[in-house]
Amino acid sequence: MAIRTIFKDEDPVLRKRTRTITDFNARISELLDDMRDTMEEANGLGLAAPQVGILRKAAIIVDGEEIVELLNPELIDSEGEVGMDEGCLSFPGKYGYVRRPQKVTVKAQDRNGNPFTREFSDLSARAACHEIDHLNGILFVDLVEEPPEDSEEDAKGRNNPDGELI
């Protein structure tokens, strides 16, 4: 297991679409283990394979106390909508207001190729959508908008001492 380099900002690899994983082998397991180590080292809530330079449909997200591996994930249902400031390990120190579903259902495969369906809500739903977007070359900066004037983000003045708003 190793810490991999996280590709930053507008690196072209972040805009590329990924390929479906068909061989669930030791290389995929190693990638997932490295992604976990890399995400934990960076204090992230999720990481997608393109962020470490690999154009495969693989992502990991934190769901409560668990790290969930999502191979070939598809968003099959969503419910509600929540807007809040969001960041990304590929854009360190930058945040922007993004609307995401409050609850999602994702169909994916595990590291052995076994299919599963799982529901995520709140922050883990946001992370699942964010990472699935990465697999399609979509970055959170593409989705940033101004918060509604009556939102909590507007009320607190959106002062984030740890980063820059975009």
Catalytic residue list = 131
Helix locations, the chain, DSSP H? 26-41, 123-135, 152-155
Tracing tokens 């169909």 back to the chain, one arrives at 107
Long-range contacts of residues 31-35, Cβ cutoff 8 Å, at least 24 apart: 31/56, 31/58, 32/58, 32/60, 32/69, 32/111, 33/1, 34/1, 34/2, 34/3, 34/4, 35/4, 35/60
Q: What are phi and psi of 153, to 5 degrees?
A: -60, -40
